[in-house]
Structure 1
């Protein structure tokens, strides 16, 4: 299926909508298994430079250590982490990706 850009969840086809829930569930489960966070945030973002672009779903582990470090949770935690602009090393990203792929492969 070709990739297409949509601005709103309501623009998804019935088939795309039917695939979205299981995909977000599988992805969230993989993040939970690989990272052991307290919670997994699933958020929808669309704007870039204050203009709707297309849908982006953010699946973010919310770890107690981050909540403590930034003294925040929920959207405020996401904002604080973004503003801190802490970028993990390439090796750390690769290690997490390897764990996530293993979890996704195991879940079928």
Structure 2
């Protein structure tokens, strides 16, 4: 997948929006402030949340490392070209989205659950 395919997939998830922050970072979020994926404006990297049970397994793989400043929250960073296939990447982005949705108040979750 190229960077625009990833961006289009992120925006296709329920309630997702895109903002540009911090001098050149594309932020994909829900409920205006809850990030589920972050991409460098140049498209050279992609960061998103994985589960605590998956974190160590992913950061041991080539091309994947803990995300700076967000690793304590189990975020990983992939360098472009991404070190995984389309299906696996889409699954992980969907999981990241759903973890963020699960932290929202119950009345906000209803329309955002997959």
When the two structures are superposed, what TM-score results if normalisation uses the length of structure 1?
0.32
Write 1 or 2 for the structure with the bigger share of helix. 1
The structure whose RCO (Cα within 8 Å, separation 6+) is larger is 1
Give the structure with higher Rg (CA).
Answer: 1
When the two structures are superposed, what TM-score results if normalisation uses the length of structure 2?
0.31
